[in-house]
Amino acid sequence: MTGRYRRDLALVHHLGFGFHADACAPGILALLEPVLARNGLVLELGCGSGALTRHLVAAGHRVVATDASPEMVELAREHAPGADDYRVLALPDEPLPAAHAVVSVGHVLSYLRDEPAIDRALGAIAGALTAGGVLALDLCDLTYAEARRHAPVANARVEADWAIVSRFEVPSPARFVRHITTFLRESDGSWRRDDERHVNVLIDTSRIPSLLREHRVQATVGPSFGDEPLPEGLVAVVGGRVGRPGLEPGPEA
Ligand SMILES: C[S@@+](CC[C@H](N)C(=O)[O-])C[C@H]1O[C@@H](n2cnc3c(N)ncnc32)[C@H](O)[C@@H]1O
């Protein structure tokens, strides 16, 4: 895993960066309506602090919320209560529980080591879906870097009790690297600093439908889950596993 989301970055992400999941939630909830209708189980990958999880739970879904970062899982447990389970789970090689839907937002798969690892994760996700199961995830396309060619290389956000400075570089066409520095105010008024380096792998997402078809999942790659515009270069993979729902036993949380 590249990009650790240790305690401080996990908290700053929680405090200031829930807007992406909020924007994606209506479209994803609409895609999940058939799953809700049969009380299916939703597996969320890279749930972070639960920004999407809380929408899923509020809509009445049974959710298993997972993330590779233990600090993120703890935040999700605290801030998005009501899921069936919260688990530390790192893609691509840890086994996934069977589910009637797999969802993931915030380009979680783009944090994997390389393109073969992303392919392995997509295969594992397809394998976790029951017949008729729904897939909805976003990840970075190769165009993600090009779309930011003229963007400011550094960004900062300063709040009363926390601040974040993020700088990016594109060392090669398929890598987008962020250097992230966080500051959190301690109870004595001093500031604690942490630094993380996140490498995102950019891929040609147009080949995802054929890859998933080999795993019995029909999917499309598009610019959004619903009506929300995703950031440029981020794509929504939406699909379903072939077969009629109900022909196999439902997964238990
Ligand atoms: C940009 S955050 C998005 C979090 C959350 N989904 C949201 O939208 O707020 C990316 C998340 O992916 C998680 N992640 C990174 N690599 C992962 C991996 N190999 N397996 C599972 N989760 C991973 C990180 O810990 C982090 O919580």
Nearest CA to ligand 1 atom 2: 106
Query: pTM for the full model?
Result: 0.96
In a domain, 253, yes or no: no
Reading the chain (253 residues) residue by residue, the pLDDT tens digits are 445 899 999 999 999 999 999 999 999 999 999 999 999 999 999 999 999 999 999 999 999 999 999 999 999 999 999 999 999 999 999 999 999 999 999 999 999 999 999 999 999 999 999 999 999 999 999 999 999 999 999 999 999 999 999 999 999 999 999 999 999 999 999 999 999 999 999 999 999 999 999 999 999 999 999 999 999 999 999 999 998 876 454 454 4
Query: What is the residue range of 120's domain?
Result: 7-140+204-241
Between CA 223 and CA 242 the distance in angstroms is 23
In a domain, 252, yes or no: no
In a domain, 248, yes or no: no
3 state SS for 1-28: CCCCCCHHHHHHHHHHCCHHHHHHHHHH
CATH code of the domain in which 155 resides: 2.20.25.110
In a domain, 250, yes or no: no
pLDDT at 55: 98
Beta bridge partners of residue 217, listed in sequence order: 241
Same structural domain for residues 111 and 49?
A: yes
72 lines ligand 1 (CB under 6 A): yes
Atom of ligand 1 nearest to the CA of 89: 21
Q: Which residues contact 36 (CB under 8 A, 6 or more apart)?
A: 59, 60, 61
27 lines ligand 1 (CB under 6 A): no
pLDDT at 253: 42
In a domain, 102, yes or no: yes
Between CA 125 and CA 101 the distance in angstroms is 9
CATH code of the domain in which 83 resides: 3.40.50.150
Q: How many domains does the chain have?
A: 2
User: Which residue in 29, 69, 23 sits closest to 46, CA to CA?
Assistant: 69
Same structural domain for residues 154 and 120?
A: no
Between CA 206 and CA 15 the distance in angstroms is 34
pLDDT at 81: 98
69 lines ligand 1 (CB under 6 A): yes
Between CA 78 and CA 87 the distance in angstroms is 13
Atom of ligand 1 nearest to the CA of 4: 25
User: Which residue in 33, 41, 34, 27 sits closest to 236, CA to CA?
Assistant: 27
pLDDT at 3: 55
pLDDT at 45: 99
Between CA 224 and CA 221 the distance in angstroms is 9
Q: What is the largest CA-CA distance in the chain?
A: 59
Beta bridge partners of residue 163, listed in sequence order: 158, 183
pLDDT at 4: 85
pLDDT at 245: 79
Same structural domain for residues 119 and 48?
A: yes
Residue 216 is classified by DSSP as T
Count the neighbouring beta carbons within 10 Å of the beta carbon of residue 64. 23
Distance of CA 127 to the CA centre of its chain: 18
Output the six-digit token pair for 32: 């999940």
Nearest CA to ligand 1 atom 4: 48
pLDDT at 12: 98
In a domain, 2, yes or no: no
Same structural domain for residues 105 and 21?
A: yes
Same structural domain for residues 112 and 169?
A: no
Rg of the chain on CA atoms, in Å: 18
- The per-residue b/e assignment along 187-217, b for 16 or more CB within 10 angstroms, e otherwise, is eeeeeeeeebebbbbbbebeebeeebeebeb
In a domain, 21, yes or no: yes
In a domain, 34, yes or no: yes
